[in-house]
Amino acid sequence: MKKMKNIFTLLLCLLSTLALAQKPKGDVLFKNGTVLTITNGELENTDVLIRDGKISKIGKDLRAPKGVEVVDISGKFLMPGIIDAHSHIAGSAINEGTSQVTSEVSMEDVVNPLDVQIYRALAGGVTSIHLMHGSANVIGGQNETMKLRYGTTNPDDLRFEGAPRTIKFALGENPTRGGRARGIQPQSRMGVENMIRSSFTQAVAYEKKWEAYNKDTNPRKVAPEYDLRMQTLVDIMNGDIIVHCHSYRADEIYMLMKVFSDFDIPTIVFQHANEAYKVAPELAAFGASASVFADWWAYKLEVYYSTAYNATILQENGVLTSINSDSGELIRHLFHEAAKTQKYGNLSNDAALAMITLNPAKQLGIADRVGSIEEGKDADIAVFDAHPLSIYAIPQMTYIDGVKYFDINNDKSDQRIFINPESSIDEVQLFEKMDYRHRCMEGTAQFFGANLFKHKH
C-alpha cells in the first residue's frame, strides 16, 4: 500500500496541477551497493535504508520494513546528491543590474519550477543548487538554495526549507563595466571597494537610527524611513546572511577580506576565485572558502591566470573548496569536474567527491542536512553504474527526500512540464543553445550595446 502511495505521490507530483501542501517524502531500501559516504569512506556491499525522506540506517543485510520498496543496486555506486554552489538555471530573471547595490532583491521571487534544465541537472546526479543572482552589480541580490523537486509548478516546493540566507557580491570587470557604461560608480576596482565600504557604513548608520527609534518610549515617536536594502546589509553584518562573492584576482580577494575584517563580517565564500591559490594561506587564516571551476580560465583579461591545480592547492592549504558549474551544461557532469582534481592534484576519492557534495553543503550552511551519506541526513542520493569519478560513469537514479526524480530506465524523450501552446514545434529540440549561454550578465546588454553571447562569467 505504501509503495502504491509513493508511486501515487510521485505521479501527483509529476503531473501536479495542484499545489502540494506537503513536500513528498519517500521510503526505500537500497540493497547491496558501494556506498560513497564522503565522511566515512567507501563501503562495499552495503545497504542504505530510507524512512520518511531521511537516511535511517546504513549497514549490511538490512531488512526492508513492511511496505518499503527495495532497490537492488548491486554493482552500482551510491553517493550523496551533487550540490552545485553556483547555478543560474530555473530563474525567471537573473540580474537586477540597474543599480550597483541591490541587496534588497531576492532570487526567491523568481524561482521558475518549469525550467526543463532542472530535470537535466537531476540526470547528472544533482539534487541541490544555489540559484544565484548575476554578477552585474557590486552588491547583487540574495540567492536561493533549492532542492530540485522537479514536477511541481509551485516554486515554494523547490525551496531548501531552513537553508540560511545567502547573497551575491561581485568584484572586478563585470560590475565596473556596468558602472562605466552608465557613467556611475564604480568604474574601477578602487570604486568597487569604496562602494562596499560606503554601503556598509550607511547600513551602520541605518541600524543606529532604528535602534534609537526602538528604544524610544515616546508613544508619539516618528519612525525613520524603512529601507530593505540597508536592512539586508545590516543582516549581513550581523552574520545572518552568507556572502558569496564573484571574484577572480588575488588582489581583489585579499581586498574583500580586509573590508570584511573591518566590518566584523565573519565569513565569505569566494565564487570562481581563479587566483585564490595565490592567497590560499590568507583565505585559510580568515576562514574564507572558495567555489571554483575545475579547469576553466583565460576567457577574459582578469581571468588570464589560473591553474587546474587551484582546487587542490586551496584544499591542501586548509581552505574549504567546492567545484561549481555556473552553467546549464556543466551542471550535468559535475562528477567529471570533481574527477579532474585527481588528475590535477591527486586528491583522494573522498576529497574529490566532497568538492561537489559536502563542501558546497558547508558553504551553503546546509551540511547538517545533506552532502554525505550519514544516518539522520536527508535522503538526497545519486546512484551511478560505475564509480562517479570514472569517466565511464553514467548516472542511473536521483532521489530527493527519498523520492525518485530521475531514473535512466524511465527517461521519457520529452520531460518538459510546461509547453507554451503558441510555440512552434521546430523550437522544441533537445540541443538548446540556451544551455551554453551564460546568464551571469543577463539583462545588462542594453548598457553595453555589444553582443554578450560570447561573454563568459
> What are the distances in angstroms from CA 350 to CA 155, 342, 437, 444?
33, 11, 32, 40
- The answer to whether residue 214 forms part of the interface with another protein (CB under 8 A) is no
Run of H or E residues at 48: strand 42-51
What span, in angstroms and rounded, lies between the C-alpha atoms of 170 and 408? 38
Strand partners, 142: 106, 167
Of 43-51, 63-71, 215-223, 395-403: span binding another protein (CB under 8 A): 215-223
- In the complex with another protein, the residue whose CB is nearer, 80 or 175, is 175
Q: Could you tell me the maximum CA-CA distance found in the chain, to the nearest angstrom?
A: 73
- The answer to whether residue 443 forms part of the interface with another protein (CB under 8 A) is yes
Query: How many C-beta neighbours within 10 Å does residue 400 have?
Result: 27
Q: Judged by CB under 8 A, which of 84, 96, 302, 378 binds another protein?
A: 96
- The answer to whether residue 107 forms part of the interface with another protein (CB under 8 A) is yes
Minimum CB separation of residue 411 from another protein in Å reads 15
CA-based nearest residue to 168, from 287, 255, 85: 85
Minimum CB separation of residue 270 from another protein in Å reads 23
DSSP-H helix ranges across 164-249: 173-182, 189-215, 228-237
- In the complex with another protein, the residue whose CB is nearer, 106 or 398, is 106
Q: Which three cell numbers stand for residue 420?
A: 507554451
What span, in angstroms and rounded, lies between the C-alpha atoms of 373 and 70? 18
Of 3-11, 267-275, 300-308, 416-424: span binding another protein (CB under 8 A): 416-424
- The answer to whether residue 112 forms part of the interface with another protein (CB under 8 A) is yes
- In the complex with another protein, the residue whose CB is nearer, 58 or 129, is 129
Strands 165-170 and 241-247: parallel
Minimum CB separation of residue 95 from another protein in Å reads 8
Q: Judged by CB under 8 A, which of 22, 214, 420, 451 binds another protein?
A: 420
Q: Judged by CB under 8 A, which of 6, 37, 100, 398 binds another protein?
A: 100
- The answer to whether residue 141 forms part of the interface with another protein (CB under 8 A) is yes
Three-class secondary structure of residue 264 per DSSP: coil
- The answer to whether residue 431 forms part of the interface with another protein (CB under 8 A) is no
What span, in angstroms and rounded, lies between the C-alpha atoms of 11 and 126? 21
What span, in angstroms and rounded, lies between the C-alpha atoms of 344 and 308? 6
Of 105-113, 267-275, 281-289, 301-309: span binding another protein (CB under 8 A): 105-113
CA-based nearest residue to 133, from 164, 161, 92: 92
Q: Judged by CB under 8 A, which of 63, 346, 416, 434 binds another protein?
A: 416
- The answer to whether residue 423 forms part of the interface with another protein (CB under 8 A) is yes
Name which of residues 223 to 252 contact another protein (CB under 8 A).
223, 225-229
What span, in angstroms and rounded, lies between the C-alpha atoms of 101 and 111? 21
Query: How many C-beta neighbours within 10 Å does residue 401 have?
Result: 20
Strand partners, 29: 49, 70
- The answer to whether residue 212 forms part of the interface with another protein (CB under 8 A) is no
Of 149-157, 244-252, 300-308, 342-350: span binding another protein (CB under 8 A): 149-157
Q: Judged by CB under 8 A, which of 74, 422, 433, 451 binds another protein?
A: 422
Residues recorded for the chain:
457
Of 22-30, 109-117, 324-332, 368-376: span binding another protein (CB under 8 A): 109-117
Name which of residues 375 to 414 contact another protein (CB under 8 A).
413-414
- The answer to whether residue 365 forms part of the interface with another protein (CB under 8 A) is no
Name which of residues 167 to 196 contact another protein (CB under 8 A).
182-184
Minimum CB separation of residue 428 from another protein in Å reads 5
Q: Judged by CB under 8 A, which of 6, 99, 199, 312 binds another protein?
A: 99
- In the complex with another protein, the residue whose CB is nearer, 208 or 221, is 221
Those residues whose C-beta lies under 8 Å from the C-beta of residue 397, and which sit 6 or more positions away, are 71, 381, 382, 383, 404, 406, 407, 408
- The answer to whether residue 153 forms part of the interface with another protein (CB under 8 A) is yes
Those residues whose C-beta lies under 8 Å from the C-beta of residue 418, and which sit 6 or more positions away, are 114, 153
Those residues whose C-beta lies under 8 Å from the C-beta of residue 343, and which sit 6 or more positions away, are 308
- In the complex with another protein, the residue whose CB is nearer, 223 or 394, is 223
What span, in angstroms and rounded, lies between the C-alpha atoms of 144 and 163? 9
What span, in angstroms and rounded, lies between the C-alpha atoms of 53 and 222? 49
Minimum CB separation of residue 199 from another protein in Å reads 12
Residues of this chain that bind another protein (CB under 8 A): 17-19, 92-93, 95-102, 104-107, 109-110, 112, 133, 141, 153-155, 182-184, 220, 222-223, 225-229, 413-414, 416, 418-423, 425, 428, 443, 446-447
